[in-house]
Amino acid sequence: MLHTQDVLSTIQASILDLRNSEKKVAEYVLRHPEEVMKSSITTLAENAGTSEPTVIRFCRQIKLSGFMDLKLKLAQSLPRARQDLENVGYDDPVPEIVNKMFQSAEETIGNTHRHLNMADVEKAVALLSKAERIEFYGAGGAGILALDAQHKFFRLGIPCIAYTDSHMQSMSAALLGPSHVVVAFSHSGATKDTIESAGIAKENGAGVIGIQGETKTPLSKYCDIVLASHSEEVALRLAPMASRLAQLAIVDCLLVAVAHKGGNRIDGNLARVKQVLIGKRY
């Protein structure tokens, strides 16, 4: 078993035994370990001038289970990563932690806003507005985002559901068609079950919108539209935090835009939902 502190030295020692394509990956990781720690497998493959399968082969050649294992070992071995949880030092007092967490959230939401492609947002709104059914997919923490999106969108009167179970996602995706839309959540864009379900939906003609941490990921290959949150967090030892807030903001933007586009019909649905909730409060 590879010790975490040896990952960079192991790569260096193994480089002569690697294939030429794998050497490209090794050399890039050695030159840019912190960047790789924050990248998707798709981005690493492109930057190293090779392919995703080559990245996976490289990881296995150095006795790692895959790309995520490489990222974790890098996060555990780099001096800064050992000392910090994201941008918070272990010696930071609570007020400093609070300040840093709010600053991270503000920066991520601001970066996401600045980098959002408005043409893609408009395409997503158009796709969602004409959908006869919307399905939200996510696993783990991304599943909570899917549930939140479903909780908001169903108020518009559009049939929708959130699936966080991989079997349910796959079975439902197999029954979709051209009039349906899937919104797939994944911070890494590399969650196997979510990618598989998005692929099944795509094969059956459904529109697929990906909401993820960066634009180029394995999931993006199955998406008609990708909307990315732009976060500097590594999110390996802790769950994604700032990026989650940015993705919630993206959902809210889509929700309000779809509601606005729906006009009086949507207004009527929202009014009826609001009316029945009045009796639930004192």
- What is the per-residue pLDDT for 88? 77
What are the structural domains of the chain?
4-84 (1.10.10.10), 103-278 (3.40.50.10490)
- What is the per-residue pLDDT for 239? 60
Regions of the chain with pLDDT less than 50: 1-4, 81-83
What region, left, alpha or beta, does residue 64 occupy, with left being phi > 0 and alpha being psi -120 to 50 degrees?
beta
96 SS3 class: helix
Spell out a b/e string for 106-115, using b for 16 or more CB atoms within 10 Å of the CB, else e. ebbbebbeee
- What is the per-residue pLDDT for 85? 56
- What is the per-residue pLDDT for 230? 76
Segments of 141-255 assigned E as strands? 160-163, 180-186, 207-212, 225-228
- What is the per-residue pLDDT for 167? 97
pTM of the prediction? 0.81
What number of residues does the chain have? 282
